[in-house]
Amino acid sequence: MRMNMVRARAPVRIDFAGGWTDVARFARESAGAVVNAAISIHSYASVRRTRPEEHAGGRIQIYAADFDLYIEAADIRRLEYDGNADLVKAAIRHLNVDESFLITTRSDAPPGSGLGTSAAMGVALIGALSHLVGRPLLAHEIAEMASEIEREELHILGGKQDQYASAIGGVQFMEFFGDTVRAAPLRLSPATEFALQKHLVLCYTEQSRLSGDVHQRVTEAFRKGDADTTGAIANLKRIAREMKDALLVGDLESFARLMSENWANQKRLHASVTNERIDELFAVAEGAGAAGGKACGAGGGGCLVFIAQPDREHVLRQALRDAGARILDFVFDPHGLVVV
Which of 22, 86, 108, 162 does the annotation list as catalytic? 162
What is d(CA 285, CA 131) in angstroms, rounded to the nearest whole number? Answer: 44
CA 101 to chain centre: 27
What is d(CA 160, CA 122) in angstroms, rounded to the nearest whole number? Answer: 12
98 is catalytic: no
DSSP category for residue 203 = E
Residue 184's Cβ-count burial label (10 Å; 0-12, 13-18, 19+) is exposed
What is d(CA 304, CA 292) in angstroms, rounded to the nearest whole number? Answer: 11
What is d(CA 159, CA 267) in angstroms, rounded to the nearest whole number? Answer: 18
Is the separation of the CB atoms in 243 and 235 below 8 Å? no
What is d(CA 173, CA 96) in angstroms, rounded to the nearest whole number? Answer: 33
Residue 143's Cβ-count burial label (10 Å; 0-12, 13-18, 19+) is buried
Q: Cite the active site residues.
A: 162
